[in-house]
Structure 1
């Protein structure tokens, strides 16, 4: 079977948004090559993570490649893809080179090629992420190993926004908390919260594909038995109170959900937000403070930020 590859050259900060646009256009899978992966891995401080021949040769920016079956008429969907990508600056995301190319490829050339980039990664003091198809034996009794099978639709858990969120969770959770994960995607944050001692975790995503993927990944981690995954639009109509709410999504979406987050957080609860670029950092802080939140901690990697806020009621 032949497939059409749409390759978008964009800024590193925009890869997740571009990937989402392509998936919503009907892609069967995406592959990301990001120049910043080299910088991130070489400065993590956890030793050598991936082999150098597996790192992209890009000097700057990133490629997001999406694969569409022959049954989808690419000339029909391409204008919509271009239009949506061109609107990313409206959300504070840079376009980079913003070049789009279409080529025809054979299925065998892409269906499993992405796996060669994915290996066990120690991403924080206690957390390691490993792919489901690789064996990994820990020698550290305190290390928690999260098994993921991201498939072609979701990231591997090693993007800076995810790393920062996991590090924030590790800092915030002390055990026995109720956690809400908004926009769960692969489910990695929910699994981590469970492993870090959360009493119960509720994970929400608007995308049915994400809900299915999260459930499958949770099943790969038998110890994470206290997670409920549901399709939902952010926090709309959610009634369960939480000690911690975590959201790794676009800054504008975070701001949109602030009233619901305030409503659902228990007194002295923590709101962890990530996916925030430098240009949006102060905008998010100002909106949080206007809602009543008090900034607590800041986590940074390159141009990405994760922030934690406390709900302190007088």
Structure 2
């Protein structure tokens, strides 16, 4: 299959805000394989690393299936991207036609073995690595789905899951992408794992990655759906590594699926949007038990307030 590769080159005084706004446009049109080529400060040693060299031109690329409708969708994407000038973001948009195979192979050179915490390491499925005896290795091939585990938002989310998920838990992953958080929950002893995503490609990629990591098929359930279309049953641990405004929108549904013992992990939040999240937490009777910060990104672990 062929894809139209949409490359948005940009410049802004606030690169992190520009990154989120452009990614938001891409995700809203369901673009595949979104790649952010933007420099980030190195995190603390041993807690995830950036796998791309610092670029000369900052850009974000996404892939649109080459169909009759892609011309119309591209024009809509272009219009929204150019409107970012209202935020003092300078935009230049380029496109090229690529084969799926060419894309899926070319980026692999930039994805390396990456330690995320003291005992969790992300390993590309095609690379060799000698693991320590007590090390948890996640074999990953993101394909056209979001999530290599090396972005600060995902790295912090993984750290919080490691901290708060208890063996025997029922785990819900909202916007599962490559399935990385589901795999980690399984490796940490979750009893049942539910993953949802509104992208059929992500569901297929997650299924393959769960198989690569030898996760028992009876342990998990993957569905192409949205949170509002799932049963409002309680979970022990919930993860939503998305973006701030989506978290705000779905927070009532998340709260509905929480008990006072549930820990929910929210990530993909830039610091400038943190106040929106705090207001939404208060509105939905949730409170923060732990905060993580890396670069301009925030991840939160939250609980539900006790009813009196």
Normalised-by-shorter TM-score class: 0.7 to 0.9
Note the C-alpha offset of 1:63. Answer: 1.4
Q: Is 2:7 the counterpart of 1:7? A: yes
Provide the rounded CA distance (Å) in 2 between the counterparts of 1:56 and 1:97.
Answer: 19
Of 134, 147, 157 in structure 2, the residue corresponding to residue 155 of structure 1 is: 147
Residue equivalent to 2:81: 85
Q: Is the 8 A contact 1:126 1:144 kept in 2?
A: yes
Q: Is the 8 A contact 2:144 2:202 kept in 1?
A: no
Provide the rounded CA distance (Å) in 2 between the counterparts of 1:101 and 1:33.
Answer: 14
Residue equivalent to 2:107: 114
Q: TM-score, normalised by structure 1?
A: 0.83
Q: Deviations over 1:234-267 (max 9, x none)?
A: 2433233101111011222212222222221122
Write the mapping of 1:134-145 to structure 2, written as runs, cut at 5 A: 134-139=127-132, 141-145=133-137
Q: Deviations over 1:75-121 (max 9, x none)?
A: 6443211233356799xxx6743221234668886452201100110
Provide the rounded CA distance (Å) in 2 between the counterparts of 1:312 and 1:23.
Answer: 32
Provide the rounded CA distance (Å) in 2 between the counterparts of 1:224 and 1:14.
Answer: 40
Residue equivalent to 1:250: 243
Greater shift in the superposed pair: 69-78 or 255-264: 69-78
Note the C-alpha offset of 1:128. Answer: 0.7
Note the C-alpha offset of 1:218. Answer: 0.7
Provide the rounded CA distance (Å) in 2 between the counterparts of 1:296 and 1:28.
Answer: 34
Provide the rounded CA distance (Å) in 2 between the counterparts of 1:287 and 1:113.
Answer: 41
Provide the rounded CA distance (Å) in 2 between the counterparts of 1:21 and 1:273.
Answer: 20
Unaligned runs of 5+ in 2: none
Unaligned runs of 5+ in 1: none
Q: TM-score, normalised by structure 2?
A: 0.84
Provide the rounded CA distance (Å) in 2 between the counterparts of 1:234 and 1:3.
Answer: 29
Q: Is the 8 A contact 1:211 1:231 kept in 2?
A: yes
Greater shift in the superposed pair: 225-234 or 243-252: 225-234
Of 197, 200, 204 in structure 2, the residue corresponding to residue 205 of structure 1 is: 197
Residue equivalent to 1:222: 214
Provide the rounded CA distance (Å) in 1 between the counterparts of 2:74 and 2:63.
Answer: 13
Find the residue that maps to 1:300 and give its secondary structure: strand
Note the C-alpha offset of 1:285. Answer: 1.2
In angstroms, what is the RMSD of aligned CA positions? Answer: 3.2
